[in-house]
Amino acid sequence: MSLRYVILGLLREHPHYGYEIKQNFEQTLGDVWPLSYGQLYPTLRKLASSGFITMQTVPGKKAIEKNVYSISEKGRRDFQEWFDKKVKKTQITVKDDFSLFLFFLKEMDIERLLPVIRKNHDVVSRHQAVLQGRLESLGAGAPFFQRALIKKMIFHLEAERIWLEEIMMDRKAGPAAR
């Protein structure tokens, strides 16, 4: 997922301050994708320098100047081209700390690994339950995209949970299977 298109999509609605972009992003995508100011502001600068957005400095409350970002016509065209693509790139990477951890356990006995796997399984299960509760609390009146994104994350966590269960059940993953 490209932060560029999230920003362009949000700015299509109306101009925003950087803080507002982050708040809107976190309200809708925060469960799926955490966003830091360290990601946001460099991306805003890059979009502005490329002509996809414009920036206007305006006086803020308490005499602090704020930058208001707006989408340009070039940005609207770019967003529409991206939006109109029929097939989106599917992310199938396993770039997370636990997968990296497993990669380096060639010499560790599976029995020593099991408590770590169980702990990760518990964390994944709790996170899945929290998201399921959030989905239920949103109700049918919540925006479709918000429900769909939460469901997607629940399904990802379900796959992770099942994978961890299979690892715990597979005693053959010991040194002989490596």
The separation between the first and the last C-alpha atoms of the chain, rounded to the nearest angstrom, is: 34
Reported as a single tens digit per residue, the pLDDT across 2-58 is 889 989 998 998 999 998 999 888 877 776 678 889 999 999 999 999 999 999 998
In whole angstroms, what is the distance from residue 4 CA to residue 39 CA? 10
In whole angstroms, what is the distance from residue 161 CA to residue 121 CA? 6
Q: What mean pLDDT is predicted for residues 53-71?
A: 88
Tell me what pLDDT residue 84 has: 85
**Taking 90 as the threshold, does the pLDDT of residue 88 lie above it?**
no
In whole angstroms, what is the distance from residue 176 CA to residue 83 CA? 49
Tell me what pLDDT residue 176 has: 46
Tell me what pLDDT residue 24 has: 85
Greater pLDDT, 105 or 60: 60
Reported as a single tens digit per residue, the pLDDT across 96-133 is 777 777 776 666 676 777 888 889 899 999 999 998 99
| Cβ neighbourhood burial of 14 (10 Å; 0-12, 13-18, 19+) | exposed
pTM over 0.95: no
